[in-house]
Chains A and B, each alone.
Chain A
Amino acid sequence: MQRTDTTNPAWFHKVVDCQWACPAHTPVPEYIRLIAQGRHDDAYMVNWVANVFPGILGRTCDRPCEPACRRGRVEENNGVKPEPVAICRLKRVAADMKGDVKARMPQVGPANGKRVACVGAGPASLTVARDLAPLGYEVTVFDGEAKAGGFMRQQIPRFRLPEEVIDEEMGYVFDLGVRFRAGERIDSMKALLGAGYDAIFVGSGAPRGRDLDLPGRAQAAANIHIGIDWLASVSFGHITKIGKRVIVLGGGNTAMDCCRSAKRLGGEDVKVIVRSGFEEMKASPWEKEDAMHEGIPILNYHVPKSFEHEGGRLRGMTFEIVRAEYNAEGRRTLVATGEPDVFVPCDDVLVAVGQENAFPWIERDCGIEFDRWGLPKLGSTTHQSTLPQVFFGGDAAFGPKNIITAVAHGHEAAVSIDRFLHGEDVAKRPPPMTNLVSQKMGIHEWSYSNEATNDARFKVPWVKAERALASIKVEVELGFDAATAFKEAERCLNCDVQTVFTDSLCIECDACIDICPTDCLTLTENGDEADLRTRLTAPATNLDQGLFVSSPLKTLRIMAKDEDVCLHCGLCAERCPTGAWDMQKFRLDVTHAGPGCRDQAPPRRVLAAAAE
């Protein structure tokens, strides 16, 4: 193998599994360390710069970081159930325990005379607004509802996300001088185009819930509700009750929110019924667990066949029982088992089988082209539509995803808009800034907590079930207290504190190899990667994880490091007599809108400065 090019920003970034997995590349270990130090304000601001809604995300994020977390791999075969660090819930700790951070929000620069319209007040639009407003743009956000937040406010139930958390974080965006035109639903793109904005960002979400056109749908319509619409009505207080027996169709996170909401509005016998197997359900594992914890059974391999009704009233539903079969390519088909159909009685059905994009308000002849799935044709990184001044992000861009993805889209679109309005090519994306700083403080002293704790993941306490189920407004999770948060934070391995190797200093004494607790290091003859991976101190079978290779050393052997289960404990550096190994903190500054993203780039990091 060639010597690993560690100057490529992606190399060390990829070692920080959580940050790599986060669509917005939040510097997770950095803020977890700050939480451990009790610096909640700083931890919050690090988050705020990266993901804009730390309090909201700390409760509702899809947490792509957690399945990626190295801790989950490191704990395998080590006596406890392998679990990632509770990254998401630590984020909530930062949001809950911080003091007043208003003074740390960015200053708004002098107006630059450019006007930007954002359609929809969801996470994508608000991220665009947050990124552009401090630069002097005049940003106007339009939304059909009275309050901003979009999906976060309308569909996510209050027992998971209290209203005041949304209000606070919307406030930080609007405090930057962003104009909010509440209750103004844009119903014509042409009209908006004619309103003289320099750029338009569409962050209107995927507002249409999919329906199930089965026999009996029309006749029993009074008791069949589309999940996301029903959740919105619950959220606005239009619906306060539901029947005693409720079926929720669908296996995604919306279905989980529906069933748990139903349980709080009078549903006594609430069931989730899905076509697929339990494992393939789209809902996050923890959301399934939370639903089951509240006594909601999940029936799988039930394909809905018909709505049964009597005299215009819903009586129940009939399901066909199937099993999964996989062909040679691993494609799944659901095959009827031949068992008799099952009838499940119920009073109400909530249909949560997916969401669709809908742009009835965009005239098809206004210059914005759509693909055959009804989604706008966009540059994959630029988010620019075929009409150059119109950009899309969030669920409106590439179909329904999640909040953190919408935030990431917002950042990218803001960069595009900033470059576009400065007459620069939006296809050119400036790379992130990276930095490495040694963490050695003295003999045996490292600036980070490098002792790997053996604690298993700590559970977030819940309010008592009878209180939680009594009201839809009582937040179920209580969040970590400071002491537990500290202990959970200590489970973080500080993967951003990188093992940096200087080939010319190595004397091949084996000290690092002997001390490495997880057998990551090897001095051996070079070879191609597939061969090398089998010849290491411990086999490197996780192909998703990088293999660092040095240039040939004095004996012509190479130093190899399998990144997979490195604890970042620093003992290799501690035992190295020559400093060939050093622990250096890796910092990645994602390019946000502002001077740093432009070709004529004076100082960078307008927003990052707020975190310091």
Chain B
Amino acid sequence: MTYIAKPKLHHPTLTRNNVGYTRRDYEGRISTLCAGCGHDSISAAIVQACWELDIEPHRVAKLSGIGCSSKTPDYFLGASHGFNSVHGRMPSVLTGANLANRELLYLGISGDGDSASIGLGQFANAMRRGVRMAYIVENNGVYGLTKGQFSATADRGSKSKKGAINTDAPIDLVGLALQLGATYVARSFSGDKAQLVPLIKGAMEHGGAAFIDVISPCVTFNNHAGSTKSYDYVREHNDAVSRIDFISEHEEITTDYAPGEVVDVRQHDGSVLRLRKLHPEYDPTDRLAAMNYMHEQQARGEIVTGLLYVDPLATDLHTAFNTTERPLNTLGRAELCPGARALDKINASLR
């Protein structure tokens, strides 16, 4: 942690994106997390992704729960909307915000404690309903704020810093998300920004519930030998299914790959996810196959990363509810209160 502010001076070649901001404009306040925390790398990846996507900061709402991970929205997108909710309740607050204003981009930031323990029900239902958001879990397998007890995502058999062995089975958030109907499911590693940044970009432009489980080592309590969430362990067991390039709808799509090497997945808004396959048989649009592959690799102790599953034509909660196209705060009195005749009509239809 530090309180020394990051100097405003920047590299002379720092460039502006299409909406006139430098990457530095997407930063937040100085992080108070431990030095070397994986979460800070994820914050940096979010900053990079939003800058590359030409997102105007005021178009983003970042919501979080409680925990080290949930502190991080203070450390990026300082000019965006934010809400730090109750422990484990980020998904329902975000759902409400999303229903009220569908025009913002929603970024849900949570941790393994916040989403896999106290907020597991909230997590499950948000995935199930298809709330349009990028749901990022910063997963380090420990309760860092309470000094390093195993969290619900800690692998069975992994060792705590004090030497205790975890006897409980882990909750696999990626498996749950796949099973519950999330339409964009990925796993990544805080120490691999080349993989993480395009995944965040794809998630933010996705049309439905997008979930990214980011393994984020806790340098203070979970970065030792015997941990399965340490920098060394994740690097040794990282099995990436593909490298992903995100191509926005404005960019020209060029192909310099041999057929079969890449899969282009076009999302609803015209953006393209280009997957450079590392496993020729892997099909990221086949949900069942994705689940099978993941479980097989998991049984071997490998950590499958990359874009595991995407439904390019995903829809969301607003489609299901057939809600109004416009944010509620732009509706006038006439639309919100259509009068007694409209009420009579509704009542009549229910008789």
Which chain A residues have a beta carbon within 8 Å of chain B's beta carbons?
Answer: 73-78, 444, 450-452, 454, 507-511, 513-515, 517-520, 538-539, 541, 554-555, 565, 567, 569-571, 574-578
Closest B residue to A569 by beta carbon equals B7
Q: Is the CB of A517 within 8 A of B6?
A: yes
A574 with B35: CB separation less than 8 A: yes
Nearest CB on A from B348, distance (A): 61
B217 & A450 in contact (Cβ 8 Å cutoff): no
Contact: A75 with B9, CB < 8 Å?
A: yes
Q: Which of B10-53 contact A (CB under 8 A)?
A: 10-14, 24, 34-38, 40-41, 43-44
Name the B residues within 8 Å of A539 (CB-CB).
13
Given A508-B191, A514-B44, A515-B40: 4 more A-B contacts, CB < 8 Å: A77-B13, A78-B10, A507-B232, A509-B219
Q: Would you list 27 pairs from A and B whose C-beta atoms are within 8 A, ordered by A residue?
A: A75-B9, A76-B12, A77-B12, A77-B14, A78-B10, A451-B4, A451-B7, A452-B7, A452-B9, A507-B223, A507-B231, A508-B191, A509-B38, A510-B41, A511-B40, A517-B6, A518-B9, A519-B10, A539-B13, A554-B232, A554-B235, A565-B12, A571-B4, A574-B2, A576-B36, A577-B34, A578-B36
- Flag whether B5 is at the interface (Cβ < 8 A): yes
Does B8 have its Cβ within 8 Å of any Cβ on chain A? yes
| Contacting pair B10 A518 (CB below 8 A) | yes
The residues of B that contact A507 with a CB separation of less than 8 Å are 36, 219, 223, 231-232
B12 — which chain A residues lie within 8 A by C-beta?
A: 73-74, 76-78, 565
Bound Cα distance A515, B37 (Å) = 12
**Contacts A77-B14, A554-B232, A574-B4 hold; do A514 and B35 have CB atoms under 8 A apart?**
no
Interface residue B277 (Cβ < 8 Å from any Cβ of A): no
- The chain B residue with its CB closest to the CB of A74 is B9
Provide the B179-198 mask, 1 if CB < 8 A to any CB of A, else 0: 00000000000110100000
Asked if residues B9 and A514 are in contact (CB atoms below 8 Å), the reply is: no
Partner of B2, one of A520, A538, A575: A575
Query: Cβ of B3 < 8 Å from any Cβ of A?
Result: yes
Cβ of A419 to closest chain B Cβ, rounded Å: 45
When distances are taken between beta carbons in the complex, the residues of chain A under 8 Å from B8 are: 78, 454, 517
Q: Cα distance A249–B262 when bound, in Å? A: 72
Known: A452-B9, A454-B9. A508 touches B35 (CB 8 A): no
Partner of A538, one of B3, B9, B14, B220: B14
Report the separation of the CA atoms of residues A78 and B14 in the bound assembly, to the nearest whole angstrom: 10
Per the 8 Å Cβ criterion, residues 75-101 of B in contact with A are none
Q: A509-B41, A514-B41 are in contact. Are A575 and B9 (CB under 8 A)?
A: no
Residues of B222-239 contacting chain A, CB below 8 A: 223, 231-232, 235
A567 x B9 contact (CB < 8 A): yes
B141 to nearest A CB, angstroms? 16
Highest count of chain B CB atoms <10 Å: which of A511, A518, A519? A511
CB neighbours (8 Å) of B14 from chain A are: 77, 519, 538
Interface centre among A451, A515, A554, A576, by most chain B C-beta atoms within 10 angstroms, is A515
B231-273 interface mask toward A, CB cutoff 8 Å, 1 = contact, 0 = none? 1100100000000000000000000000000000000000000
Contact (Cβ within 8 A) A510 B191: yes
A577 touches B4 (CB 8 A): no
Docked complex: B158-193 residues within 8 A CB-CB of A: 190-191, 193
Measured CB to CB, the closest approach of chain B to A172, in angstroms, equals: 39
Contact B2 A444 (CB under 8 A): yes
Q: How far is the CB of A287 from chain B (nearest CB, A)?
A: 28
Q: How far is the CB of A72 from chain B (nearest CB, A)?
A: 11
Q: How far is the CB of A539 from chain B (nearest CB, A)?
A: 6
Provide the residues of chain B in CB contact with A513, threshold 8 Å: 44
Q: Which 10 A-B pairs have the closest CB atoms?
A: A577-B36, A514-B44, A452-B7, A76-B12, A509-B36, A77-B12, A538-B11, A577-B219, A519-B11, A577-B35
